[in-house]
Amino acid sequence: MKKYRSEAASPILPWHALYRAALFETDRSKVADRIAEAERAIFAREKELFTAKVDHIEEDLFLDDALYALRALRNCVFHNAKAA
């Protein structure tokens, strides 16, 4: 039974690469697209895990945290843009 291990111990998953790309995007005009792309990948991964017959609780937590961070990023970037 394969368990999701910490980021340092496991290969980067496709959703994680897109998540990191969104977090570290420096071009404000691309942030919204990066966030949307990462969210789609995370939702797709959650759908895969829903039918998985292995323990994936740890990865579920990582996915939830990633979605929370992306929403916070969206709120910060676009709230600041409206205020300016």
1 within a domain of the structure (yes/no): no
Q: Write the CA distances from 41 to 13, 37, 80, 81, integer angstroms.
A: 10, 6, 26, 26
Tokens 């969210």 correspond to: 39
9 within a domain of the structure (yes/no): no
DSSP 25: -
**CA 16 – CA 12 distance, rounded (Å):** 6
**H or E, element range at 19:** helix 14-23
Q: Which pLDDT tens digit goes with each residue over 6-22?
A: 444 455 789 999 999 99
Q: Which domain holds residue 37?
A: 14-83
Q: What is the pLDDT of residue 84?
A: 58
Q: Which pLDDT tens digit goes with each residue over 38-61?
A: 999 999 999 999 998 888 899 999
2 within a domain of the structure (yes/no): no
31 within a domain of the structure (yes/no): yes
User: Which among 4, 43, 35 is positioned nearest to 19, based on CA atoms?
Assistant: 35
Q: Percentage of the chain surpassing pLDDT 70?
A: 81
Report how many domains make up the chain. 1
pTM of the model: 0.79
74 within a domain of the structure (yes/no): yes
